[in-house]
Structure 1
Amino acid sequence: MTNLDDLESLLRDDTPFIDTRSPVEFAKGSLPTAINLPLMTDDEREAVGTCYKEHGQDAAVRLGHDLVSGDRKAQRVMAWQMFASQHPDGALFCFRGGTRSEIAQRWLRDAGTEYPRIKGGYKEIRRWLIESTDQLIEQAPLLLLGGPTGAAKTRILNEGDGGEPIPGSVDLEGLANHRGSAFGRRVTEQPTQISFELALGVLLLKHQHAGYQRLILEDEGRLIGRCALPLSLQAARQDADWVQLDASVDARVEHSYENYILQNLEDLKSENATRGFDHFATGLLDSLERIQKRLGGQRYAELKANMRSALVAHERGKPEGHKAWIRELLIGYYDPMYEHQMNNRARPPVFRGTESEVTEYLLEAGTTSSTD
């Protein structure tokens, strides 16, 4: 039976994977191209684990075969076969590349399907990707895009090349499924920390393979929502070259209004047309409450009152009232924070300009191959 160990090629080429670990293990994090088709359910795995502790490995293996037998076994093998037929270039893995993936591979072979498994399993994949990520961040010349909240940094990185991403850029907020501020929560949940790190590692492999001159990222803080940047990236950004994006307050208010108000409400209504506005309003008020201590009591109370008034008007068909509290929040809260952060940077920006000027600069910085 075939075991694969060329992790770089497998991950870089978006190989489809069967993750045979239990659902609770999978939920903690897995690869972007993995689907969970477990050998055992959570309850079955728990029973086998208890048996192993009390009676040893042989008894646990026997119990596992008893629990997953007959129609239950046939259904799981059928699911693996269907995946294998749809993805003949794929592979399977378990936690350590041991018993569970070996059993799945053997049962598939007995059913007439040869399918490879990953040597070392999930544990080795994660170890290798963490090490690879740290090495790539250390080696790649880093260029950060900075600018005040609402300056449309993410839009530039994702759409700056004629509607396509700036070459050499990686969208950290997209990977984290979060817009990066207290109000940045999206309709769908963020990935787990492990899934975020694994997805970033895969994208960095692709970035290196493409031969870009620089790794271009939005200048993020330590956290994007609940997803933390790798420690190596947190350290590297301190001394990295960076570009300053300038934007007027009016432009930033408009951008924030379009994304955090109009687009967010549209997304919520697409998920729940009946309760979408209620979820939207609750989300805004909860986001404001999360920064209550930093705002101070009086400012928080004023912003909350203005936000409630805007929500009442919005529900009556007049959403533009949100722009008043957005402006107040940008000028009175986010701008002082950003100025403090910039004053603590180790070096001045290598370039600064408007959206069009910064876009042109980043396009030139990102398109030159390191082999040119």
Structure 2
Amino acid sequence: MYDFKSYDLIIDARSPREFNEDHIPGAVNLPVVDNAEFAEVGTLHRTDPLAAYQLGARYSLRNIARHIETHLSGVEPKSRILVYCFRGGKRSKVWQDVLETIGYRVERVKGGWKAYRRWVNEQLLVVPANFRYIVVSGPTGCGKTRLLSALQDTGAQVLDLEGLAAHRGSIIGAVPGKLQPTQKLFDSRLLERLSGFDPARPVWLESESKKIGQVQLPEALLAEMRKGQTLAVDAPMPQRVQLLREDYHHFEQDPAALIERLKNLRPLIGGEEFEQWEALAAARMVPELFERLMRNHYDPTYRRSILRNYPEIDASPSVSLQDLSSSGLLPVAQELRERFDRSE
């Protein structure tokens, strides 16, 4: 596959719908035809291919003219440009012909996005094994994600899977205002992140389940994580409750929405316990609700899961986080990096 970082501009010639499903990281969507035009040309092609090609050509030339005016006016003449479409066919060739006529150096992805997608799948089978992992493990609200952020601030190599997935990884983990990427786009972003790491240094990440919201982690990555060094993290319950109040502030404002998210757990935890949750939500006693959720559901559930996937967790190094603020976590992160990141 191509060294994507060596190009000054990568043009995705497909429709916005196709681009949003997945694209090469760093690519700019300059579609030859938009969603409606793409559908119109495709429908016409079934009954009159010649008319469809003529219509597509009119749309293409008009759209490319607009893109040149809005996106290429500042692109230097010696810039390297990479163009691709779905299979490396007509849409990318139209772009290539126009750009080469202007005088740019242009390459076209052979096989298009489909070839790129096959390559991503192949790479995710082997690339995770290039690294050694330090897996940060601990119950809900103990500051794992914040600790990873502090580690990244110290210069550690951090793979923030929940950040890539735009989800916090539990039944209440959807991030307000953010849609999760598609599985394909998550895979692309994951591979890009992994490819930027130095194999001589460890990669820090959180102990995740197979799925983060609606996206699934590659089996090869899960297997390598479970062979990695584990670090057990915990924090006092008041700190954990405060973290949930900050990170899930929207539920403190709307406790009924939290109960709605939790209702599928009722058969698992029993009607009596769920009614306690409902009563606390109705009284807007959200800190108390957060604590009860952790003690009676999340903590025992996490404990069972972590023992299943990391049976040696109790023998792992551990750290108790007394202050989950950024300033409180930074010295802990610095000490951990000095302790574990010895290869530098």
Normalization by structure 2: what TM-score?
Answer: 0.84
CA distance in 2, matches of 1:98, 1:284: 48
Residue 295 (structure 2) aligns with: 331
Aligned match of 2:258: 284
1:95 is displaced (CA, Å) by 1.4
Output the amino acid matched with 1:10.
Answer: F
Deviation at 1:34, TM superposition (A): 2.3
| Counterpart selection for 2:95 from 96, 104, 116 | 104
Secondary structure of the residue aligned to 2:283 is helix
The percentage of aligned residue pairs carrying the same residue is: 29
- With over 3 angstroms needed to count, the CA separation of the structure-2 counterparts of 1:67 and 1:165, relative to structure 1, is same
Give yes or no for the alignment of 1:300 onto 2:307.
no
Amino acid at match of 1:195: L
Cα distance, 1:83 vs. partner? 7.1
TM-score by length of 1: 0.78
After TM superposition, the structure 1 = structure 2 runs for residues 82-101 of structure 1, keeping only pairs within 5 Å, are: 82=73, 84=75, 88-101=79-92
Contact 1:168 1:212 in 2 (8 A): no
In the aligned structure 2, how far is the partner of 1:37 from the partner of 1:153? 39
Instruction: Point out the more displaced range, 139-148 or 337-346.
Output: 337-346
Q: Does 1:241 align with 2:239?
A: no
Q: Match for residue 35 of structure 1? A: 28
Secondary structure of residue in 2 paired with 1:189: coil
Find the counterpart in structure 2 of residue 157 from structure 1: 148
CA contact (8 A) 1:129 1:202 kept: no
The reply on whether 1:344 has 2:335 as its aligned counterpart is: no
Which residue of the other structure, out of 52, 57, 60, is the alignment partner of 1:68? 60
Aligned length: 333
Of 188-197 and 71-80, more deviation after overlay is shown by 71-80
Separation in 1, partners of 2:339, 2:48: 62
1:147–1:244 Cα contact (<8 Å) kept: yes
Contact 1:18/1:37 (8 A) holds in 2: yes
1:198-209 alignment, distance < 5 Å = 198-207=188-197
Q: How does 1:1-372 map to 2 (within 5 A)?
A: 7=2, 9-11=3-5, 16-54=9-47, 60-69=52-61, 71-82=62-73, 84=75, 88-111=79-102, 113-160=104-151, 164=153, 167-187=156-176, 188-207=178-197, 210-261=198-249, 264=250, 280-281=254-255, 283-310=257-284, 321-349=285-313, 350-355=316-321, 359=333, 362-364=336-338, 367-369=341-343
Query: Runs of 5+ in structure 1 lacking a partner?
Result: 267-276, 311-320
RMSD across aligned positions (CA): 3.0
Residues 352 and 358 of structure 1 are in contact (CA less than 8 Å); yes or no, is this contact kept in structure 2? Answer: no
Kindly tell me: are residues 366 and 108 of structure 1, through their superposed partners in 2, closer, same or farther at Cα, counting changes over 3 Å?
farther
Residue 291 of structure 1: SS of its match in structure 2?
helix
* Contact 2:13–2:31 (CA under 8 A) maintained in structure 1: yes
Name the CA distance, whole Å, in 2 between partners of 1:224 and 1:214: 22
Alpha-carbon distance, 1:52 to partner:
4.4
Worse-matched range after superposition: 327-336 or 182-191 = 182-191
CA distance in 1, matches of 2:155, 2:207: 15
**How far off its partner does 1:181 sit?**
1.8
By how many angstroms is 1:292 displaced? 3.3
